A and B are shown apart, each in its own frame.
Chain A
Amino acid sequence: GESVGLHLPTLSVQEGDNSIINCAYSNSASDYFIWYKQESGKGPQFIIDIRSNMDKRQGQRVTVLLNKTVKHLSLQIAATQPGDSAVYFCAELTQGGSEKLVFGKGTKLTVNP
């Protein structure tokens, strides 16, 4: 089965609010995690990544948190905008093993104006 999953399939927020998208993974050997954004009809777009030697990483308006103890990953989007509406996937990879990314099913984020 999938080693990466999501707690919520859909998330609806108001424009300007902060969004939190969660992801659980089951492979404790995974050491590299990526968040991708996929808009309708397009390919996944890289947002931010984090390696297992970190527990937090910040980008522009986005923050990824990694909790290795409970094997949980989250993506926080600050001041969510309508353009953030998309499906968000977390993906994991085990360095030193196969180079294949293992994706979760995704969370659909809808931003209401």
Chain B
Amino acid sequence: NAGVMQNPRHLVRRRGQEARLRCSPMKGHSHVYWYRQLPEEGLKFMVYLQKENIIDESGMPKERFSAEFPKEGPSILRIQQVVRGDSAAYFCASSPGLAGAGETQYFGPGTRLLVL
């Protein structure tokens, strides 16, 4: 069973460009989470999605950031008009159900975004 897949692993963008980060959850997992990690810091929650629904986006900046998890295909985290402060590692996690039901979140390898 393949783990959580993320691509690209590294992404370089110039200020003002768009960044698209993709995440394919583990097989059988219908819950997807995105986290951001700045250097030397812990991960910070951004958004939690289930198929075709955003459940909790309380950690997502109100502007320029959006996320989706369509019925078919990977989850996408989209950052429009990137700024240098967006440079970070973005991690996707997936789980087959809720933590309240005893399920754990498993993480992908991350996408490292560098904004020049």
Task: Count chain A residues whose beta carbon lies closer than 8 angstroms to a beta carbon of B.
Answer: 25
B:14-59 near A, CB below 8 Å: 31, 33, 35, 40-45, 48, 55-56, 58-59
B54 to chain A, nearest CB (A): 12
Complex CA–CA separation, A104 to B40 (angstroms): 11
Q: Which residues of A contact B66 (CB under 8 A)?
A: none
Q: A44-B107, A95-B99 are in contact. Are A101 and B43 (CB under 8 A)?
A: yes
Residue of A nearest to B41 (CB): A105
Q: Which residues of B contact A100 (CB under 8 A)?
A: 33, 45, 48, 56, 58-59
The answer to whether B109 and A98 have CB atoms under 8 Å apart is no
Complex CA–CA separation, A41 to B78 (angstroms): 22
The answer to whether B58 and A43 have CB atoms under 8 Å apart is no
Q: List 26 A-B contacts (CB under 8 A).
A: A4-B42, A32-B99, A34-B104, A43-B4, A43-B6, A43-B91, A43-B109, A45-B107, A46-B104, A46-B106, A46-B107, A49-B104, A89-B43, A91-B43, A93-B99, A95-B98, A98-B48, A99-B31, A99-B98, A100-B45, A101-B93, A101-B105, A103-B35, A104-B42, A105-B40, A105-B42
